[in-house]
Amino acid sequence: MDFILEAGWGGQLAQWESIAWTDISTRVDLTSGVSITRGASDELSETQPGTMSLRLDNQDQALTPDNPASPFHPYVRCNVPVRGAVALTPEPPAGAGPWPLILLGDDFKDGRVDPVLWPGTYGGAAEVGGRARIPLTPGGFAGYQSAAVWRLGGSSLSARLVTLPAAGGSTAAETGMWVNSATAGTRVGWTYNPLTHSVVAQSQTGYFDPAAVSIPYSPGSHRWLRLRDTGVTTVWESSGDGHTWVIGRSAPSLAWLASDLQFVDFMGSRTGGTGDAAEWDYAGTRVHPRFHGTVNGWPIRWEGLESTAAITCTDLFKRLGRDPELRSCLTEEVLLDGPAAYYPLAEPAGSTSAGDLSGSGVGTLTRVGTTGVVAFGDVAGPAATGDTAARFTPVSATSGRMLGGDLGPAFEAASMALYNHVECWFSTSTPGRVMLALTSSEGDYQVVLSLDGSGRLVLEFVLSEGELIQVPVATGNLADGQVHHVAYDEYTTTVYVDGAALSAAGMLQALGLRRITVGGYSGTRMWDGTISHIALYTRPPGPVGPTLALHYPAGNSGFSGEPADDRIRRLVRYTGLGSPVIYGTTHDPVAGQGPGGALALARLREIEGTESGKLFAARDQVAIAYASRDVRYNPAPDTDAFTIAYADLETDQVQYRRDDQKMINTVVASRPGGATQRVTDATSIAAYGTYAPPGGDLSLLKTSDNSVLDAANWLIHRYRDPAAELREVPIEAYSHPDYAAILSADIGTHFTVTGLPAPTADIRTTVEGYTETIQLNRHAITFHTSAQVTDSVWALDDPTYSVLGTTTRLAY
C-alpha cells in the first residue's frame, strides 16, 4: 500500500481538469500518519466539511511560503488544490503461469529490478527513485521486459507515465507499454511520441498499425495509461488520476490475447539527437481516491535543522461556506450568462444613480433632466426576486427625468464586431412611451424599445442612412400595469416576451452602440412606470434568445416547480464549481428559489432537508454530490461494498445502541405560501413522551400541502421507535483480505457485519461518514453508520419488505 499525494501548484478549482499535478508523496510522513474525516455522524446530521491532515518533509524549504528558491514558488500559498489516494499494487503470483495481467504489479520502490518479474530487462533500464527509468539512448533500445507468462485476454494492465522524454533533436523517439504475442511484431500497446507530444493507441502486426489512434497529450488526461480486454473488446484507456478512465480507442479482441503466452515490455528508443529517459511507475496499481480539496495554509515548523509542514486541507464545503451570499435567482442567472452590462436598478431608496454588476467596467447610470422623478427602492420589481425597481414618474410625455450613461469604448468595440442582445423588465399603464434606447457615439446607429399607442412592443432602428425603421411585434397590450419581461435576439431577429418567442422580422443590426438612456429618449415619450434588470450582451453569431427567455421564470417564480436535482445543479453552477454528481431518481418539484441573501450552501441544505437527501463533497473528483432519498431504498444484497465478520474487525470499539437520540414522534411542517400541518404518532408518544425533530418545526420547499404531509410522515415512520443499530464500526482495514472493497465504501453505501454477539448476529449498515488514519502498513477506518432498515420501504410480495407491521412503510 502506498499513499499518493499530489499538489496542483498554481491551479484553480474552477479549472480542476487542466491542473498539472505534482507528486509530492515522498514528503508525506506516514509514521505520524494521514488523518481524513468525511461525512456526518448519523443520517439526521448534516455532512460536515471533509478534512485531511498530514505532515510533510520540508528539509529543502520547498514548502516554505515566499521562498524564491522553491521549485513551487510563488504558489506555496493557501487554497493549493490537493488530492490524496491509496494505491494498492498486487503481489505478483508465485509459481508457473499463465496469469491474468491484472496480477502483474510493481511499484518500483525496492531499489532494484525484480529478476523474477522482469527477467528480460535490457539496455540499461533501472529502478531509480521509486520509478522504472527507461533510457532513450540515440540509436539504442531499452526496457523493462517480463517473462512470457501473462495473458491480457479478459484482464488489464496499467501504469503511470511519470517523466516524459524530450524530442531531443531525434527524427523518431518513443516510450511505450506493450503486451507482446508469441509472434514477433504482433502486439498491442500505448506509446508516447515526444516529437508530436501525443499518446498513440496501437495494435500492431509486423510492427505496424495503419489504424493507430494518435491523441494530443494532456497531463490531466493521459498521465495514467491502461490496456483492458473484456474477451470481446480491447480498449485503450487513459486517466489523469488512475481512477477515472476514458476510452481512447476500442477494437474487437484478437484471438492471441486469450491464447498466447504474452510478455510485457516498458520500452524506450530514439534515433539520433540527445539522449534522456522516460520514467514509469505503479505498474498494475489500483488507485482508491480518499480526498480532494485545498490546503488551508502552510505552517512551517523547525526542530533544530529539521523542517516540516503540518498542513490541514478541506474539501469543497469550505469553498461553499466562504462564497458571498447569493443575489436573487434572476440576478444569478443573468450573471451566469455573462452580460456586457447589467443594471438591476435595485438601489436603495435615496440613491441618485444606478450601478453595473457585470464587472466589465461600463459606467453607472445617472439621472438626466430637471423635472419629474426617478426614484429607487420603493416599488417591487419581478415577483420572485425580492428586488425593487426604478420608478419613473414624468410630468408629461415630453417632460421628465431619465437615466443615462456612457457604456465605454470596450463595449463600443464589442458592439461593432458582434451581435447585440438586450433584455429588461418593466411595468406601466401608459402606452406610447420609451423603455430604453441605445445609440452610437455619433448617433448614426440607434435602437429604441418602446410601446406604441396600443401598448404593443415596437423596436425602432436608425442606421447610418438616417432612415427610421419601425418593427412592431404582435405582443398585445403590455401597458396593463403588470410586470413583463422582454428580450430581443439580434442574431435571430426574435423577441421574447414573458418567455414566449415572437417574430421580429425586419429587425436590423446596429453597430458601435455606446450610449444608453432609460425611461425615455431625446426628451420625448417619457416612461411612466417601472424598469429593472436591464442586461446587454455582445455575442458572436448564434442564438441567444432561448437562454434569455429562461430569465423570465427566474424572475417571475424563481423556477418554482422544477425538480430538486435541477435546483441542485442550478445552485452549484452559481458557485462556479461546475456540474454536481447526482445519485438517485426520486426528485420532487420544489418551490421557488426566492430572493437573495443566503449562501449557496444554505440553499443547497434547504433542498437536502426538503427532499430527505444527502449532500456531500465527492472524494474522487472536485464536485458536489447529492444523493436522493431513493438511493437508500431496499438496496439489493449484492450492492454491499463488503461483508465483514465481527471477529475480523480487530478492534473492540464497536458501538451497538438503542436510545432516544434519533426518536421523532411529532412533526410540525409548512411550505412557502401553504398550510402548517402537524403529524404525530400516538403510540410512540404514549410510550416515550414527545420528541420533535432536532431543528424544531420544518419549513420545506414543497409545492403542495400533500407533499409536506408526505415528508412529515416519512420522518415519523422512520423514527417513531428506532431499533437498535450499529453506530460506530472501526476496522483495521489494511490487514483484511477485502481491503480494496473496504476502501470502496463511501457515504450512502452499505456493508454487513456478521457474527455479532448481539440478538441479531448479522446487521446491515449504511455509511454516514468515517474517520481514517493511514500509516505505514496500517490503515484504520472508523465508519459512522446507521441501520439500513431505517430506509426500507414496502414492496409487494417481497419476503423482506412486505412483512406486516415492520417493513410495510410506504415510500416517500
Q: What is the CATH number of the domain that holds 450?
A: 2.60.120.200
> Would you state the pLDDT for residue 235?
98
**Pairing between β-strand 373-380 and β-strand 750-754 as defined by DSSP bridges:** unpaired
Is the pLDDT confidence value at 463 over 90?
A: no
pLDDT in tens, 559-591: 999 999 999 999 999 998 889 999 999 999 999
Q: Are residues 398 and 274 in the same domain?
A: no
Rounded CA-CA distance 149/143 in Å is 17
> Would you state the pLDDT for residue 796?
65
Copy the grid coordinates of residue 422: 438586450
User: Between helices 329-336 and 564-574, what is the axis angle to 10°?
Assistant: 60
Is the pLDDT confidence value at 12 over 90?
A: no
pLDDT over 70, % of the chain: 98
If you average pLDDT over residues 431-451, what whole number do you get? Answer: 95
Rounded CA-CA distance 169/272 in Å is 7
> Would you state the pLDDT for residue 322?
86
If you average pLDDT over residues 370-376, what whole number do you get? Answer: 94
Is the pLDDT confidence value at 650 over 80?
A: no
Look at residue 137 and tell me if it is in a domain.
yes
**Pairing between β-strand 81-88 and β-strand 99-100 as defined by DSSP bridges:** unpaired
Q: Are residues 623 and 636 in the same domain?
A: no
> Would you state the pLDDT for residue 809?
66
Rounded CA-CA distance 752/364 in Å is 63
> Would you state the pLDDT for residue 20?
85
Q: Are residues 43 and 22 in the same domain?
A: yes
**Residue 543 Cα distances to 463, 468, 537, 539, angstroms:** 22, 26, 12, 9
Rounded CA-CA distance 470/763 in Å is 76
DSSP H helical segments within 71-125, as ranges?
A: none
Mean pLDDT for the chain overall: 93
> Would you state the pLDDT for residue 470?
93
> Would you state the pLDDT for residue 96?
79
Higher pLDDT, 523 or 291: 291
Is the pLDDT confidence value at 800 over 70?
A: no
Residues 93 and 119 sit within 8 Å (Cβ to Cβ): no
Q: Are residues 377 and 520 in the same domain?
A: yes
Look at residue 24 and tell me if it is in a domain.
yes
Final residue before a domain boundary, out of 515, 531, 556: 556
> Would you state the pLDDT for residue 94?
79
Q: What is the span of the domain harbouring residue 104?
A: 99-284
Look at residue 673 and tell me if it is in a domain.
no
CATH number at residue 20: 2.40.10
**Edge-to-edge strand ranges of the sheet holding 698-699:** 677-680, 666-670, 698-699
Q: Are residues 157 and 239 in the same domain?
A: yes
Look at residue 684 and tell me if it is in a domain.
no
Rounded CA-CA distance 221/682 in Å is 59
Q: Are residues 600 and 485 in the same domain?
A: no
> Would you state the pLDDT for residue 805?
58
CA atoms within 13 A on the CB side of 567: 31
**Which long-range contacts (C-beta less than 8 Å, at least 24 apart) are formed by 458-465?**
459/488, 459/495, 459/504, 459/507, 461/507, 461/508, 461/510, 463/508, 463/510
> Would you state the pLDDT for residue 305?
78
| Cβ neighbours for 209, distance < 8 A, ≥ 6 positions apart | 202, 203
> Would you state the pLDDT for residue 601?
93
Block residue for cell numbers 401553504: 674
Q: How many helices (H) and strands (E) does the chain have?
A: 12, 51
> Would you state the pLDDT for residue 91?
86
**Pairing between β-strand 750-754 and β-strand 725-732 as defined by DSSP bridges:** unpaired
Look at residue 424 and tell me if it is in a domain.
yes
Q: Which of 436, 446, 437 is nearest to 529 (CA)?
A: 436
Q: Are residues 593 and 650 in the same domain?
A: no
Look at residue 736 and tell me if it is in a domain.
yes
Rounded CA-CA distance 302/325 in Å is 40
If you average pLDDT over residues 402-427, what whole number do you get? Answer: 96
How many CB atoms neighbour CB 658 within 10 A? 10
Residues 327 and 340 sit within 8 Å (Cβ to Cβ): no
Q: Are residues 383 and 274 in the same domain?
A: no
Look at residue 68 and tell me if it is in a domain.
yes
Q: In this structure, which amino acid lies at residue 268?
A: G
* pLDDT confidence band for 729 (50 / 70 / 90): very high
pLDDT in tens, 288-314: 999 999 999 999 999 887 899 999 999
If you average pLDDT over residues 199-213, what whole number do you get? Answer: 96
Total domains in the chain come to 5
| Cβ neighbours for 452, distance < 8 A, ≥ 6 positions apart | 431, 432, 458, 472
> Would you state the pLDDT for residue 803?
66
**Residue 522 Cα distances to 380, 402, 451, 515, 608, angstroms:** 27, 10, 16, 12, 52
Look at residue 686 and tell me if it is in a domain.
no
Q: Which of 198, 168, 230, 533 is nearest to 380 (CA)?
A: 533
> Would you state the pLDDT for residue 219?
86
> Would you state the pLDDT for residue 794?
74
If you average pLDDT over residues 113-125, what whole number do you get? Answer: 95
Q: Are residues 517 and 580 in the same domain?
A: no
* pLDDT confidence band for 467 (50 / 70 / 90): confident
Is the pLDDT confidence value at 806 over 60?
A: no
Q: Are residues 216 and 103 in the same domain?
A: yes
| Cβ neighbours for 554, distance < 8 A, ≥ 6 positions apart | 329, 330, 332, 333, 384
**Pairing between β-strand 341-343 and β-strand 306-314 as defined by DSSP bridges:** unpaired
If you average pLDDT over residues 514-531, what whole number do you get? Answer: 96
Q: In this structure, which amino acid lies at residue 183?
A: T
Higher pLDDT, 82 or 650: 82
Q: Are residues 452 and 597 in the same domain?
A: no
* pLDDT confidence band for 637 (50 / 70 / 90): confident
Tell me whether the omega of the peptide bond preceding residue 74 falls within 30 degrees of 0, making it cis. Answer: yes
Is the pLDDT confidence value at 436 over 80?
A: yes
Q: Are residues 396 and 505 in the same domain?
A: yes
Threshold 0.85, pTM exceeds: yes
**Pairing between β-strand 698-699 and β-strand 666-670 as defined by DSSP bridges:** parallel
